[in-house]
């Protein structure tokens, strides 16, 4: 979209919100490139909210935690709000024991709640089509 | 390994750990040890996979799996970044019939000049939060660091299966 090499981590745009997710195979270089790409797009596309789904991450170590904290701060400086959604419970337990509290990082239980916090609501389908629950 | 100038810290995260005898090597299971070189960033991913497989083999619960893999990731990254590379060994010791996973992370780097400081939260000399060493210690049951200036660093960390 930006016509430049990307990290391979898909970043979708919905209005003024970017939606993305981290994969378990995230290595350090990819994490840093992801930060660069996201901040550039926030600025270039006047983004006001970013949802980062982390439900695929089987671990979050201090490096990834730091990346998330820095990314959140950078985005805030650019006027955008970041929500980290979908953390697995064992990951939350381990992060606390590790001593990493993700200070300043807003979270949501899952992507849907995160999007709601960013102002997105699931509305009725266009044209008044309803789901047929009788079938 | 003969240099323990800054002391060998044997820390047991819980009361169930560490009688002094534990810090000496118990005989590993007949299952052979796995050794993974720590030379590239890809090796850090290989470490996670291998350690995850090791915890699965012993039937660790999902939270314990996550603790051990996270500790391995922290320690392997330390060895890669601060130690200039090294190796991680996975072994399966037994203690009174209880199986465990033992990680030995060795590097030939400059060593840790102030081990107490390095084990303190918030202490960092590189990219990270400074929770690596102290945090990894909390995630494991038994934890020893052997280091001396110019002699590299070896961390031996064990987590035992819960009964």
With respect to residue A129, please indicate whether it lies within any of the assigned structural domains: no
Which band of pLDDT confidence, cut at 50, 70 and 90, is reported for residue B17? very low
pLDDT at B31 over 80: no
The larger pLDDT score, comparing residue B47 to residue B133, is at B47
With respect to residue A128, please indicate whether it lies within any of the assigned structural domains: no
Query: Which residues are A82's β-sheet partners?
Result: A50
Contact A20, A52 (CB under 8 A): yes
Interface probe, candidates A62, A88, A89, chain B, greatest B C-beta count within 10 A: A62
**In chain A, how many domains are there?**
1
CB atoms within 10 A of CB A132: 6
Burial class (CB in 10 A: 0-12, 13-18, 19+), B63: middle
With respect to residue A125, please indicate whether it lies within any of the assigned structural domains: no
Region A114-128 average pLDDT: 78
Mean pLDDT, rounded, of chain B: 80
Ranges A125-129, B17-21, B78-82, most confident: B78-82
Cα B73 to the chain's mean position, in Å? 9
pLDDT at A37 over 70: yes
With respect to residue A4, please indicate whether it lies within any of the assigned structural domains: no
What sign for the dihedral angle of Cα A73, B135, B54, B111? positive
Which CATH number do you get for residue A49? 3.30.750.24
With respect to residue A3, please indicate whether it lies within any of the assigned structural domains: no
Region A105-116 average pLDDT: 96
Contacts of B130 in chain A (CB under 8 A): 62
Which band of pLDDT confidence, cut at 50, 70 and 90, is reported for residue B95? very high
For the whole model, what pTM was predicted? 0.81
For residue A74, give its domain range.
11-119
Domain ranges of chain B: 9-160
Contacts of B131 in chain A (CB under 8 A): 62, 98-100
d(CA B70, CA B92): 18
Strand, coil or helix: what is B124? Answer: coil
Region B1-25 average pLDDT: 39
Helix (H) or strand (E) holding A64: helix A62-77
Which band of pLDDT confidence, cut at 50, 70 and 90, is reported for residue B12? very low
Q: Can you give B132-145 as a three-state secondary structure string?
A: HHHHHHHHCCEEEE
Interchain pair B73, A27: CB under 8 A: no
d(CA A34, CA B42): 17
- Which B-chain residues 54-73 have CB contacts (< 8 A) with chain A? 62-63, 65-67, 69-70, 73
The larger pLDDT score, comparing residue A81 to residue B78, is at A81
Region B97-124 average pLDDT: 84
Nearest-CA residue of chain B relative to A96?
Answer: B135
| Architecture of the domain defined by B9-160 | 2-Layer Sandwich (3.30)
pLDDT at A58 over 60: yes
pLDDT at B83 over 60: yes
Burial class (CB in 10 A: 0-12, 13-18, 19+), B158: buried
Predicted complex ipTM exceeds 0.90: no
| pLDDT value, residue B21 | 42
| pLDDT value, residue A29 | 82
**Contacts of the segment A24-28: beta carbons below 8 A, 24+ positions apart:** A24/A56, A24/A57, A24/A58, A25/B45, A26/A57, A26/A64, A27/B41, A27/B42, A27/B44, A27/B45, A28/A63, A28/B41, A28/B44, A28/B77
């Amino acid at each position: 979209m930006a016509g430049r090499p990307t990290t391979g981590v898909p970043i979708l745009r919905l209005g003024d919100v970017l939606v993305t997710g981290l994969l378990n195979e995230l290595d350090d270089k990819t994490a840093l490139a992801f930060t660069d790409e996201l901040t550039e797009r926030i600025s270039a596309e006047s983004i006001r909210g970013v949802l980062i789904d982390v439900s695929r991450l089987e671990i979050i170590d201090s490096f990834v935690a730091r990346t998330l904290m820095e990314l959140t701060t950078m985005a805030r400086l650019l006027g955008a709000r970041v929500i980290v959604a979908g953390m697995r419970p064992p990951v939350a337990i381990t992060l606390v024991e590790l001593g990493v509290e993700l200070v300043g990082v807003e979270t949501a239980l899952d992507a849907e709640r995160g999007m709601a916090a960013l102002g997105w609501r699931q509305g009725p389908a266009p044209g008044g089509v309803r789901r047929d629950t009788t079938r | 390994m003969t240099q323990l100038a800054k002391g060998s810290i044997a820390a047991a995260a819980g009361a169930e750990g560490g009688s002094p005898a534990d810090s000496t090597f118990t005989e590993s299971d007949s299952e052979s040890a796995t050794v993974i070189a720590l030379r590239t960033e890809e090796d850090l991913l290989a470490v996670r996979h291998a350690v995850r497989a090791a915890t699965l083999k012993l039937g660790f619960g999902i939270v314990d799996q996550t603790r051990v893999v996270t500790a391995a990731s922290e320690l392997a990254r330390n060895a890669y970044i601060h130690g200039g590379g090294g190796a991680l060994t996975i072994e399966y010791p037994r203690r009174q019939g209880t199986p465990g996973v033992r990680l030995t992370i060795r590097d030939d780097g400059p060593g840790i000049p102030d081990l107490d400081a390095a084990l303190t939260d918030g202490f960092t000399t590189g990219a990270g939060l400074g929770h690596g060493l102290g945090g990894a210690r909390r995630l494991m049951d038994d934890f020893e660091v052997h280091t001396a200036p110019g002699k590299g660093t070896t961390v031996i960390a064990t987590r035992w299966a819960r009964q």
